[in-house]
Amino acid sequence: MTRSRALVASAVLFVAPQALAGEAEIKAAVDAAARTIMQQHDVPGLAIAVTQNGERHLFNYGVAARDSGLPVTDDTIFEIGSVSKTFTAALGGVAMHKGLMKAEDPAGGFLPWLGDSALARTPVMNLATYTAGGLPLQFPDSVTDDASMQAWFAGSKPKGAPGHSRQYSNPSIGLYGAAVAAAMDGDFAALMQREVIQPLELQSTFTHVPDERMDDYAWGLNRDGRQVRVNPGALDTQAYGIKTTASDLALFLEAQMDAGSLDGGLAQTHKPQFQVGPMLQAYGWEIYEDPADLDALLAGNSTDMAMKAQDARPLDTEPPLPHALYNKTGSTAGFGAYAVFLPDRQAGIAILANRNYPNADRIRAAHTILQAMGAID
């Protein structure tokens, strides 16, 4: 693993000495992006990691908790919301690579409690790509534990046949994660630790932050200005439960750009399955064939894409696209995250904040930084 070079900017945007080619331009772009985000959206703290050709640059701004005033550091742990879905996809890729699961396998083959429901007959690939027939964005309030969650899935009646429309859904990929864990005959969190987090040497990535790292766990700021952390919920770990540092998330992106990572398991997640408007839906990741097309990125990460059903055109046996851009946004009530990488340029960015702010501003910030890196025109 390449040793990282940390470039740390404080809340007053301290300029560190420059040593690497292009470092000044990258730092200027990151500083400007961070300043804009924090000022426009009253963000307490921000951590940005930039990776290029295995070299990591870390930039920290502001505070990890507004009440304590403790600064964001390389060790600050953030909630990453739906970027967690790419970790669930990674575990699924491992299961598929080991021959424990195939894309076309019906979910009921792993989860007998689905009974004879429509979801029992739904291929797991459709659960992972939100194309199972219209599962909602969130569970209803009536789902409060495993028993009510299982009963709700077993009684769900999809709006249509799998594979025709995409409806972004936490329950959908949550059910995929449950099927993956069943296929691997284990507890989801334990499997994530053993099969993904440990092999990739992600030393500050957790499904549950341990007691000895709680002092590093940032507090988010919600829309009412209250300090918050994510609440537990049904299949939360699978859909939005990972907590990590900017450095670890950048290391995860570096692994994504290595075709041999997890013995090829990660490559399984990069194959586009559906064309959905301007983007290609893969397992967890959303793909754009023209990395420089900012308008397409903004459209693909819009509120409509998250909240409304979209037509989905199946793609047959599409290989991974090394020249494309792969991205994922994620949010909880008090945190906002963005992860993006370009395999052929060996470039990636992780942006973590302890406030949920608009996706469009995350996209624009990363786009500007990628231009400074020379990764896009």
Q: E strands of 215-324, at which residues? A: 220-221, 227-228, 243-244, 274-276, 279-281, 286-288, 310-311, 313-314
Q: How far apart are CA 375 and CA 15, in angstroms?
A: 23
Handedness of CA 89, 95, 97, 102 (dihedral sign): negative
User: Which among 66, 77, 78, 63 is positioned nearest to 10, based on CA atoms?
Assistant: 63
Catalytic residue among 82, 117, 172, 204: 82
Burial (0-12, 13-18, 19+ Cβ within 10 Å), 109: middle
User: Which among 278, 262, 261 is positioned nearest to 324, based on CA atoms?
Assistant: 278
Three-state DSSP string of 272-290:
CCEEECCEEECCCCEEECC
Q: How far apart are CA 130 and CA 162, in angstroms?
A: 9
Could you tell me where the DSSP H helices lie in 67-200? 84-97, 124-128, 146-155, 170-183, 188-192
168 is catalytic: yes
Angle at 118 between CA 113 and CA 119, to 5 degrees: 55
Q: How far apart are CA 156 and CA 114, in angstroms?
A: 10
Q: Directed axis angle between helix 359-373 and helix 23-41, to 10°? A: 170
Q: Classify 76 as helix, strand or coil.
A: coil
Q: Which residues are within 8 A (CB) of 373 and not within 5 positions of it... i.e. 6 or more apart?
A: 22, 26, 50, 52, 345, 347
Left (φ > 0), alpha (ψ -120 to 50) or beta: where does 201 sit? left
Terminal CA-CA length for the chain: 29
169 is catalytic: no
Strand 274-276 relative to strand 279-281, pairing: antiparallel
Q: Which residues are within 8 A (CB) of 190 and not within 5 positions of it... i.e. 6 or more apart?
A: none
Which token pair is 263? 């013995």
Catalytic residue among 168, 176, 283, 357: 168
Catalytic site positions: 82, 168
